[in-house]
Amino acid sequence: MRCSVRNGSRGNAPFEPFRIIGNIYYVGPSGISSFLITTPEGHILLDTGFETTVPRIRESVTKLGLRLEDIKIILNSHAHLDHSGGHALMKKLTGAKIMMSEADAALLASGGTNDFTPYSREMIAYPPVQADRMLRDGDKVTLGGVVLTCHLTPGHTKGCMTWTTDVTEDGKVAHVLFFGSTSILPGVPLVNNAGYPNIAEDFAATYRKLESLPCDVFLAPHSSFFGLREKATRLERGAKPNPFIDPAAYRGFIKRAERNFRKQLEAERGQSRK
């Protein structure tokens, strides 16, 4: 949750849909990501954005020559307003099954209002909806021969999820990673957090897990995290190899994020000792 505007106008501007790699397509707006994984038996949508993002996704799916109604499964990076706000509407339009970690399913069912963040209900709330399947760490989601693995990476939310799958590009297997997020939101403490006492421990474990996961293609819930616009432009111009195959981008992002986490944690610990 990075955008402070309720309708997400800064991140909700249209973005031309395109194939990223293999059977993975970008169907989100310019700032908040939505990914479509296509299969012969229907499609998987990862993140719905704000409720106002859903018409953008519908338009993008149609532009690709596909049908919104063929979305069978809705997955999620984490259950904040700007990534789950459209879940209820998307489920209504498609009948797709929502699959989510237990902790974030509870957040989804509350419409985002039982989060540990210090923000007002008016700022974080979205239409609530129930998940159809609860996921644990390591669970697989399968459809039409596609397998996605759920990795619980808590901290940003208590049930934040990172997803991995493999695709084939030019005869070579590429490991795709959909990052869940490790952002520490303004006003969220890592020390003495009454709403999330083990937040620092969860973040530390999450970084260990993220560092262990293979990643050739780094994708994320915010387009700025993985350089969407620049890489999409290069891809459109025919760049070879596929610019989204960029394992260094993932490793660099995780190292910088963990460094910032450690810095804030040490600063807070120092303050608490005074």
Residues of the chain with pLDDT under 70: 1-10, 274
Quote the pLDDT of residue 209: 98
Quote the pLDDT of residue 4: 39
Closest listed residue to residue 46, CA positions, set 73, 70, 20: 73
Tokens of 49: 């954005």
- The position carrying tokens 């149609």 is 62
Q: What is the pTM of this model?
A: 0.96
Instruction: Give the tens place of pLDDT for each residue, 165-213.
Output: 999 988 999 999 999 999 999 999 999 999 999 999 999 999 999 999 9
Closest listed residue to residue 22, CA positions, set 180, 209, 216, 234: 216
Contact 54, 93 (CB under 8 A): yes
CA 176 from chain center: how many Å?
Answer: 13
Distance set, CA 182 to CA 10, 144, 211, 253, 256 (Å): 21, 31, 13, 10, 11
The CA distance from 8 to 26, in Å, is 18
Kindly list the structural domains of the chain, giving each domain's residue range(s) and its CATH number in brackets, ordered by start: 18-273 (3.60.15.10)
Instruction: Give the tens place of pLDDT for each residue, 122-140.
Output: 999 999 999 999 999 999 9
Quote the pLDDT of residue 5: 44
